[in-house]
Amino acid sequence: MTNTPPLPLVIEPEALNAILNNENLLIVDLSSPKQYQQAHIPEAVFLDYGHIVGMNQPYTGLLPEAKQFEHIINSLGITPNTQIVAYDEEGGGKAARLIWTLHAMNHNNASMLNGGLIAWYREKHPLSNKSVTSQPNPGDKHYKVDFNLQPVVASTEYIIDNLENNAVGLLDARSIDEFTGNAKYAQKTGRIPGAKHFEWTRAMDTEANYRLLSKETLQPMLDELGLTQDKEIIVYCQSHHRSALSYLMLKYLGYEKVRGYPGSWSEWGNRTDTPIEN
């Protein structure tokens, strides 16, 4: 076994296949339990997506409680030196949400498998149906989680304070019906004032097994919306699931200042003190 060198934020299936047995590498599968039981990447541990998000109805998709996430981190044997590669079966939303949450605790050694399980399977890389049991951290190696308002997290108050700030852009990753207010999933419909619509699936290349589109393709699309790299971009959807992929897309493109809004529209659309635009 060899040590894992730093990996890119987005890793290709072929590159991951070459380092499956490396030390300090942990592959995390966020697919459905049924999918994991049927087939997963060899040595991948299963993590239920529901365990990495918090909820305070009607707000969903919140940051998990630090102690809750700390328990998960340590039960998986993750240390500050662990290189995590996350994937799912849906194009990256759940994997990206884990990576964003890791970034929020300042663990940046995390990558998303480009195309996830879809690309891995279609390109005939090895699969297993053997469940993998992780080795929990002993007490002397306990990894403490402190979210402490890392600069990748946007609160409702932060967004309200920056609505008139031309150096801050808002990316709405929901469907066009949600964006225009034709679909209602909260007390209020519409969007955050000034938000630009970029549905999360637009980042995916279905003809390339659901990989992210190339940087050369994505950047002009965002530039046309005014979501340029000189700005800080805040991404949101209904529960910061879909927009987690938007967060990862922007980081992949090289944006230095990106924040995810954990409660997203489930919070903004259910509060009485938030302005909306239709």
Residues forming the active site: 237
**Close Cβ partners of 129 (under 8 Å, ≥ 6 residues apart):** 37, 38, 39, 40
What are the two backbone dihedrals, phi and then psi, of residue 90, each rounded to the nearest 5 degrees?
Answer: -125, 5
Residue 84, H or E segment: strand 83-87
Structure tokens at 278: 């239709």
Handedness of CA 231, 236, 31, 115 (dihedral sign): negative
Query: E-strand spans in 114-236?
Result: 168-172, 196-197, 204-205, 211-212, 232-236
What are the two backbone dihedrals, phi and then psi, of residue 153, each rounded to the nearest 5 degrees?
Answer: -115, 130
Closest CA to 167 of 197, 194, 200: 194
Contact in structure between 154 and 244 (CB atoms under 8 Å): no
What whole-number distance in Å separates Cα of residue 38 and Cα of residue 156? 40
Q: Which long-range contacts (CB under 8 A, 24 or more apart) does 217-220 make?
A: 218/249, 218/253, 219/253
What whole-number distance in Å separates Cα of residue 79 and Cα of residue 144? 9
Radius of gyration of the chain (CA): 18
Structure tokens at 102: 């890791």
